[in-house]
């Protein structure tokens, strides 16, 4: 059975409202499984919109979004939410953590909502805590002094690593990272990316890395400039 | 369950604000329950001001008027009952006992009631409690008196004290029956009823002090000393009212009709339970007003919770977005935020109950001894459970407001970080 692509966009169009101009129009984009892809673009180029479409939070006005072979824009809202929690891990730019949960609780959070990822995590580590600790160890975050600290007292770099462990737990097929390094200084950025790549390789996850920082693009197998593939008329913006 | 544990942790994270809301909810809930319990118990104790008595009989007037002067010692009788009429019904075949009551005099603002020893034998209040003596015993001679508990406490009277009865019911009467003092021979246990505020003397005593009185004033020149009075016939010519106990309750209406239809004198017989209920209903307005106020207090507490939850919501949009990204559905967000309100109010209700019971434990002896009102420390009654259920339900409904807003936010924001 041929492996379906991780992500396949066909004639994707999106506008916020019917009478407003389209903000996104991508004729064709395919991301094979296991690939690390960099999506660059200035702010306003439609990065967030694209991510919302991939996550199934927004629906395209036209075209289709296939994730892991599933046309998610045809699923019901609840099914999309399910699909997202089962198959996609997210890392955001800043403040990724729930302030009232501990480090470990933050890492295992997706397992509260996704049965599949919970099972996978337990299969991988024996139990949730062990698997979370394993991921944190890989990300150099397993010191006792760190994991017992309130997450609000962690540095930005530490918070991003906890968020990465959370995105990775239960080995989702796709990791979407939205500017995860923009708050880090350049040394940290390199180190963080190395860890992220390594973990994605270990789990075989596809990494979709969105950033305006083109310096990072060279580190990826493939990079796309969103402004170039987005055919929507931007004049209306 | 996963969501509720999140809600709990989120609340704990905001424990100072949450604690303040809890205090306001707990206080208002315990206030509501305390008012409800006081209301029920005072109604109960009121309804049990007199028990075991089947009929109260007086001169014809209104039933509430009769109840007020004969049982509550409030106001005055419009007319008296002749001794003959009283005797006729006292000796009626269906009547088991009667207690004659003669009112009109007072002692330092407390009503003096003439009666006989059957009063101590048959009078019942509360849950069919008989009168009990704290000290001493019933009167046996003409110039002896038995005091209600409050009279003895307020005036500091002991057994053996001589008291002077004043003519009329006023607090400061200038016409005293000072030639015929009464000796205190007994003090009753508290009852929480008007008995506590009554000075009891024999009917013959009332008759004796009025022997030299005609038409409400002492006749000049006619002086009958206490000893001389004892020589005379002290059977009263009239009494104010009498209480009736029947051999069988089934006969109540029959005897009542017979008394009401009595041709020789216009009499009125009432069922004390019914009249008490009517009287209470008249006072029910104030009672309901109190209940409404406390319900509003609870409502204010819940509105406070709503305010805090809504105010915090905007700051939590990021948190919602993170939860959405890890797989929470909008319904989860609704559940989380509504669950927080619900948890707050449930914990608040539990704390309120705790507060109520500790208050009851502390206050019960004081209230019982001072007001004669017994507040039971039992499990909440059905009505109280319903009240608590209503508080819980309203808090759920109120909690749905921020819950729904968070739900709308999470639908429109999705995973985008708006802050």
Looking at chain A, which residue has its C-alpha nearest residue B13? A100
Please tell me which residue, A178 or B31, carries the higher pLDDT value.
Answer: B31
Q: Is residue A28 part of a domain?
A: no
For residue B28, the model assigns a pLDDT of: 93
Assess if residue A223 is contained within a domain: yes
Establish, for the pair of chains A and B, how many residue pairs have beta carbons separated by less than 8 Å.
73
Residue B312 three-state SS: helix
- Considering CB atoms only, which of A77, A85, A105 is closest to B327? A85
CA distance to partner chain B, nearest, from residue A64 (Å): 19
pLDDT digits (tens, 9 = 90+) for B96-148: 999 999 998 888 889 999 999 999 999 998 878 889 999 999 999 989 999 99
Q: For residue A162, count other CB atoms closer than 10 A to its CB.
A: 25
* Residue B73 near residue B103 (C-beta atoms within 8 A): yes
User: What is the SS3 assignment for B97?
Assistant: strand
The answer to the question of residue A188 being in a domain is: yes
pLDDT score of A146: 82
Q: Who has greater pLDDT, B177 or B356?
A: B356
Give the per-residue pLDDT at B219: 66
B175-210 burial by CB neighbour count: b if 16+ within 10 A, else e? eebeebbbebbbbbebbbbbbbbbbbbbbbbbbbbb
Helix (H) or strand (E) holding A67: strand A62-67
Tell me if residue A23 falls in helix, strand or coil: coil
Q: 3-class SS at B416?
A: coil
Of the partner residues B13, B14, B329, the one whose CB lies closest to the CB of residue A81 = B329
Closest approach of B320 to chain A, Cα-based (Å): 9
**Are the beta carbons of A97 and B6 separated by less than 8 Å?**
no
Nearest Cα of chain A lies from the Cα of B330 at a distance, in angstroms, of 9
The 10s digit of each residue's pLDDT in A38-83 is: 988 777 777 878 888 888 878 888 888 888 888 888 888 888 888 8
| A114: nearest CA partner in chain B | B327
Closest by Cα among B28, B2, B5, B14 to B355: B28
- The pLDDT tens digits for A185-202 are 777 788 788 888 888 888
Contacts of A24 (CB under 8 A, 6+ apart): A12, A13, A14, A15, A46, A49, A50, A53, A230, A232
Searching chain A, which residue's CA lies closest to the CA of residue B2? A112
Q: Token match 């009505």: residue?
A: B383
Residue among B399, B418, B415 nearest B310 (CA):
B399
Q: Compute CA distances A134 → A143, A146, A191, A226, whole Å.
A: 12, 14, 18, 35
State the smallest CA–CA distance between residue A112 and chain B in angstroms: 6
Residue tagged 């059905």 (tokens): B382
CB A179 within 8 A of CB A211: yes
**Which residue in the block uniquely carries the two structure tokens 């509360």?**
B126
Confidence of residue B285 (pLDDT cuts 50, 70, 90): confident
Indicate which of A23, A52, A57 best probes the interface with B, i.e. most B CBs within 10 Å of its own CB: A57
Question: A107-155: per-residue pLDDT in tens?
Answer: 988 888 888 888 888 888 888 888 888 888 887 777 888 888 888 888 8
On chain B, the residues whose CB falls within 8 A of the CB of A95 are: 318, 322, 417
A226 inside domain:
yes
Residues A138 and A130 sit within 8 Å (Cβ to Cβ) = no
- Contact yes or no for B318/B414 (Cβ under 8 A): no
Mean pLDDT of B164-177: 74
Q: Which residue has the higher pLDDT, A8 or B368?
A: A8
Give the pLDDT confidence score for residue B220 in this predicted structure. Answer: 64
Q: What is the pLDDT of residue A78?
A: 81
Rounded distance between C-alpha atoms, residue B119 and residue B201, angstroms: 11
Q: What is the mean pLDDT of chain B?
A: 87
Please tell me whether residue B262 adopts helix, strand or coil conformation: coil
**Dihedral angle sign, alpha carbons of residues A74, A69, A225, A199:** positive
Q: What is the predicted pLDDT for the residue at B94?
A: 92
Percent residues over pLDDT 90 in chain A:
2
Instruction: Quickly state the pLDDT bin for B365 (edges 50, 70, 90).
Output: confident
**Chain A: residue nearest B325 by CA?**
A90
B9, B328, B330 ranked by CB distance to A101: nearest: B9
The answer, yes or no, to whether residue B92 has pLDDT greater than 80, is yes
The pLDDT of residue B215: 61
Select from B214, B230, B231 the least CA-distant residue to B222.
Answer: B214
| Residue B329 CB-half CA count within 13 A | 12
CB of A207 closer than 8 Å to CB of A37: yes
Question: What residues of B are in contact with residue A75 (Cβ under 8 Å)?
Answer: none
Find the mean pLDDT for residues A9-16: 82
Question: Rounded to whole angstroms, how far apart are CA atoms B5 and B373?
Answer: 44
- Token pair for B268: 């009125």
Cβ <8 Å between B327 and A166: no
Q: Within a domain: residue A168?
A: yes
**Averaged pLDDT, A14-41:** 83
Nearest to A136 by CA among A118, A163, A173: A163
Over residues B291-344, the pLDDT tens digits come to 889 899 999 989 989 998 898 888 888 888 888 888 888 888 899 999 999 999
What's the domain range around A88? Answer: 36-59+78-236
CB contact under 8 A, B417 and A52: no
**Tokens 């539990």, residue located:** B350
* pLDDT score of B418 more than 50: no
Let me know if residue A1 belongs to a domain.
Answer: no
CATH number at residue A103: 3.40.50.300
Examine the pLDDT at B417 and tell me if it is beyond 60.
no
Cβ–Cβ under 8 Å, residues B349 and B419? no
In-domain check, residue A18: no
- Report CB contact under 8 Å: A84, B327: yes
pLDDT at A237 over 50: no
As a whole number of angstroms, the distance between CA A65 and CA A208 comes to 15
Chain A positions with Cβ closer than 8 Å to B = 48, 51-52, 55, 57-58, 77-78, 81-82, 84-86, 90, 92-101, 105, 109-110, 112-114, 166
Total domains in chain A come to: 1
The tens digit of pLDDT for each residue in B181-235 reads 899 999 998 888 889 989 999 999 988 888 777 666 666 666 777 777 787 888 8
Given an 8 Å threshold on Cβ–Cβ distance, is A100 in contact with B332? no
In a domain, A150, yes or no: yes
């Amino acid at each position: 059975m041929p492996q379906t692509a991780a992500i396949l966009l066909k004639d994707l169009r999106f506008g916020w409202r019917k009478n407003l101009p389209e903000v996104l129009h991508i004729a064709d984009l395919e991301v094979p499984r296991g690939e690390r892809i960099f999506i660059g673009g200035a702010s306003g180029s439609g990065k967030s919109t694209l991510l919302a479409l991939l996550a199934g939070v927004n629906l395209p006005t036209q075209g289709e979004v296939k994730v892991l072979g599933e046309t998610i824009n045809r699923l019901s809202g609840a099914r999309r939410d399910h699909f997202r929690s089962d198959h996609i891990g997210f890392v955001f730019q800043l403040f990724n953590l729930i302030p009232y949960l501990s480090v470990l609780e933050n890492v295992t959070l997706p397992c509260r909502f996704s049965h599949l990822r919970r099972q996978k995590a337990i299969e991988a580590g024996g139990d949730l805590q062990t698997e979370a600790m394993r991921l944190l160890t890989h990300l150099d975050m397993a010191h006792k002094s760190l994991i017992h600290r309130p997450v609000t007292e962690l540095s930005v770099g530490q918070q991003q690593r906890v968020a990465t462990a959370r995105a990775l737990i239960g080995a989702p097929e796709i990791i979407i990272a939205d500017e995860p390094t923009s708050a880090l200084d350049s040394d940290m950025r390199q180190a963080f990316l190395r860890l992220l790549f390594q973990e994605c390789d270990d789990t075989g996850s596809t990494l979709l890395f969105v950033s305006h920082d083109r310096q990072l693009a060279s580190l990826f197998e493939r990079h796309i400039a969103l402004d170039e593939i987005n055919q929507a008329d931007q004049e209306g913006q | 369950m996963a969501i509720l544990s999140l809600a709990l942790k989120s609340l704990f994270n905001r424990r100072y604000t949450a604690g303040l809301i809890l205090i306001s909810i707990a206080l208002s809930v315990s206030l509501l329950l305390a008012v409800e319990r006081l209301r029920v118990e005072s109604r109960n104790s009121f309804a049990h001001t007199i028990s075991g008595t089947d009929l109260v009989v007086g001169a014809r007037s209104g039933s509430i008027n009769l109840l007020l002067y004969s049982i509550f010692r409030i106001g005055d009788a419009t007319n008296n009952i002749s001794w003959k009429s009283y005797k006729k019904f006292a000796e009626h075949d269906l009547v088991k006992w009667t207690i004659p009551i003669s009112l009109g005099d007072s002692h330092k603002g407390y009503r003096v009631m003439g009666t006989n020893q059957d009063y101590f034998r048959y009078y019942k209040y509360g849950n069919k409690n008989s009168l009990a003596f704290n000290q001493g015993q019933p009167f046996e001679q003409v110039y002896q008196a038995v005091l209600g508990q409050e009279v003895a406490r307020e005036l500091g009277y002991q057994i053996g004290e001589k008291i002077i009865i004043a003519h009329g019911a006023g607090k400061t009467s200038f016409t005293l029956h000072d030639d015929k003092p009464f000796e205190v021979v007994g003090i009753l246990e508290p009852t929480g009823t008007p008995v506590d505020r009554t000075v009891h003397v024999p009917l013959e005593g009332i008759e004796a002090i009025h022997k030299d009185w005609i038409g409400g004033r002492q006749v000049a020149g006619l002086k009958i000393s206490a000893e001389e009075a004892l020589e005379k016939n002290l059977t009263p010519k009239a009494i104010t009212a009498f209480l009736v106990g029947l051999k069988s309750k089934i006969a109540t209406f029959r005897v009542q009709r017979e008394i009401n239809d009595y041709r020789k004198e216009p009499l009125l017989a009432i069922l004390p339970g019914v009249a008490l209920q009517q009287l209470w209903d008249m006072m029910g307005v104030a009672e309901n007003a109190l209940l409404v106020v406390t319900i509003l207090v609870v409502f204010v507490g819940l509105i406070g919770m709503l305010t805090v939850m809504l105010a915090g919501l905007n700051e939590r949009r990021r948190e919602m977005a993170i939860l959405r990204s890890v797989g929470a559905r909008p319904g989860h967000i609704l559940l989380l935020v509504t669950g927080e309100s619900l948890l707050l109010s449930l914990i608040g209700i539990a704390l309120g109950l705790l507060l109520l019971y500790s208050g009851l434990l502390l206050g019960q002896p004081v209230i019982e001894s001072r007001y004669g009102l017994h507040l039971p420390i039992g499990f909440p009654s059905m009505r109280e459970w319903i009240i608590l259920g209503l508080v819980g339900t309203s808090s759920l409904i109120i909690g749905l407001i921020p819950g729904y807003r968070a739900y709308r936010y999470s639908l429109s924001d999705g995973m985008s970080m708006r802050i």
